[in-house]
Structures are given as C-alpha cells and as structure tokens.
Amino acid sequence: MATIIDGKANSATVIEKVTAAASALEAKTGTRTGLAVVIVGDDPASHSYVNSKSRMAKQCGFHSLQHTLPEDTTQEALMALVAELNADPAIHGVLVQLPLPKHLDSEPVIQSILPEKDVDGLHVVNAGKLATGDLDTGLISCTPAGSMLLVRQVHGADLSGLNAVVIGRSNLFGKPMGQLLLNANATVTMAHSRTKDLPAICRTADILVAAVGRPEMVKSDWVKHGATVIDVGINRVAAPEKGEGKTKLVGDVAYGQVSEIAGAITPVPGGVGPMTIAMLMANTVIAAYLSKGEPRPIF
C-alpha cells in the first residue's frame, strides 16, 4: 500500500515558514509583504478561491487587498487597475483570478503584470527564466512548485537517475513541471493526448505526474511498482452512492487501485490542491524579499 503524501500537512509547514519570513522582512526593513487579488464577475467557484487566498494572505501577516470588479468590466479598465497595482510600492504580488468573463482577453492582462509581481508565475519572463534554469530570480508557477515540493519530500532535492513522466503539456502546469523535474536532474518524458502507447510510457516512470483533466484515467496497469504518483487533476463526478444528485471530487488517477501499486501517492482532495495556495503565499514573500534586494527565502 502506498504512502499517502499529505498536501495539507506540507502546505501548513510552508505557511509557517512564509509567516516567519514575512515577519522577519518587516522587522528588518519595515516592509510589509503586500498581495493584491483581482476578480472580475460573480463566478461562485472563483470567489471561493479568491476568498481563501485573501484569508491565507492575512493569516501570513500580509497587507492583503481584494479588488472585485463587475462582470461588464472593460479590458481597458482591467488593464488600468493592473497598471495601478504595478506602480504601488506597497504591493509585491498581483494576481488576476482566472478564468475571466468571456468578453475579456486574459493573455494581455497576465503579460501586463510586472514579472517581479507575477506571483502566479505566468509571465513569459518568468516562464523563460524557468526554461533556462534560472530558479533564483524568477517566480515559478504555484501548482508545479507545490507538486515539486511534494516530490522532494519523497526523493530529496536531487532526482539523478530517476525517470519522470508528466502527462499534460499545458503552459500552466505540464511544461513548468517538466522543467522543474529536469532542473532537479530527472530524465523527463512529456506525454500528452497524442502520445503513442501512453500506458507503456507511464510504466517507465519512477515519478508519474498526471495533469490531464480526465477523471481516473490513469489505471494501476499504467504504474510501475513503487512509483511516486502526483495527481494534479480535480474532477467533479457523480456520486450516486452518496445519494441522488450528489457529486464527489476525484483526480486523474484511479486512486483506489493505483494506491495498491505505487510507493507514494497524493490523494484528491488533500494532495496538490492545498500546496497551490501555499506556494502563492511563498511567491509573494519571495517577491517582497527580492524587491528589497534581500536573498530569497527557500521553502
């Protein structure tokens, strides 16, 4: 039976370190770490995410701002707000909650955030720094950074001699995850929907990362005995066993059967999910340190 990698416990450890780092920076320089979150419209899931981010920022001792804009906000108004936040020295991190309403184009908005305030790690400058192996001056996308921390908990910082397979090639997760694994000396295969004989490729992995958005796609016969399995999927599916109309969250991995084969596995929920917000807080305090010319804290 696999060891369960506890994202809640790991995220709590990160938050403790972030809180201590924010307090130390304020004591040394008088600078309070600042995070601004922008949300457009009234999507309930987005509001739930944003509220949890704002709560966590306050828990870490940050100066926390939330800008809630109406559904019919124009592209120009949103870009103007981002420009204001870019210019505000009290704000070290700027986050625009995605997805935006359909009439807005998210890419120019994301790219207009200053790279040094891009705590989501989505700006092309931060993506480029990661791609070229610069892990010291850029900000890394939160979910891959959190997933990598969980991998390190099992295998340590140096993944030399280990094969890693990432299923999924998105800019948001798959590509940066592959680059982080490569930077840690793993031999990395990037797999996706067009990969020939995907199960056979997955069976070569000492570290298997699933991020495809297909409920329980990865079965036990896809997994090497003793492999570490990181499940990034969050899928809501029908749960008739709970009652009519009820649903539950499952990952991209068939957890019940794969946990019999794997050496270590992240559950859904409670695995990678909690790490994302923790690493967002980590990125924000890193941005604050870098803004003052201080060495970046390590999490």
Indicate the pTM of the whole model.
0.95
* Fold equal for 30-133+275-291 and 142-271: yes
118 phi and psi angles, rounded to 5 deg:
-80, 75
CB 53 within 8 A of CB 95: yes
| Helix 142-155 × helix 7-29 angle, to 10° | 110
Structural tokens at position 119:
């705590």
CB 276 within 8 A of CB 269: no
Contacts of 87 (CB under 8 A, 6+ apart): none
Structural tokens at position 178:
């592959």
**Cis bond before residue 274 (omega within 30° of 0):** no
Q: Provide the CATH topology of domain 30-133+275-291.
A: Rossmann fold (3.40.50)
Please compute Rg for the chain using Cα positions.
Answer: 19
Tally the C-alpha atoms within 13 A of residue 208's C-alpha that lie toward its C-beta. 35
Q: Provide the CATH topology of domain 142-271.
A: Rossmann fold (3.40.50)
Active site positions, annotated: 53, 97, 120
Q: What span, in angstroms and rounded, lies between the C-alpha atoms of 234 and 228?
A: 18
Residue 193, pLDDT score: 87
Query: In the predicted model, what is the mean pLDDT of the chain?
Result: 96
* Residue 161 CB-density burial (10 A; 0-12 exposed, 13-18 middle, 19+ buried): exposed
List per-residue pLDDT tens for the chain, 299 residues long.
899 999 999 999 999 999 999 999 999 999 999 999 999 999 998 999 899 999 999 999 999 999 999 999 999 999 999 999 999 999 999 999 999 999 999 999 999 999 999 999 999 999 999 999 999 999 999 999 999 999 999 999 999 999 999 999 999 999 999 999 999 999 999 999 899 999 999 999 999 999 999 999 999 999 999 999 999 999 999 888 888 889 999 999 999 999 999 999 999 999 999 999 999 999 999 999 999 999 999 99
Question: Domain limits of the chain?
Answer: 30-133+275-291, 142-271
pLDDT tens digits for range 208-264: 999 999 999 999 999 999 999 999 999 999 888 888 889 999 999 999 999 999 999
**Cis bond before residue 176 (omega within 30° of 0):** no
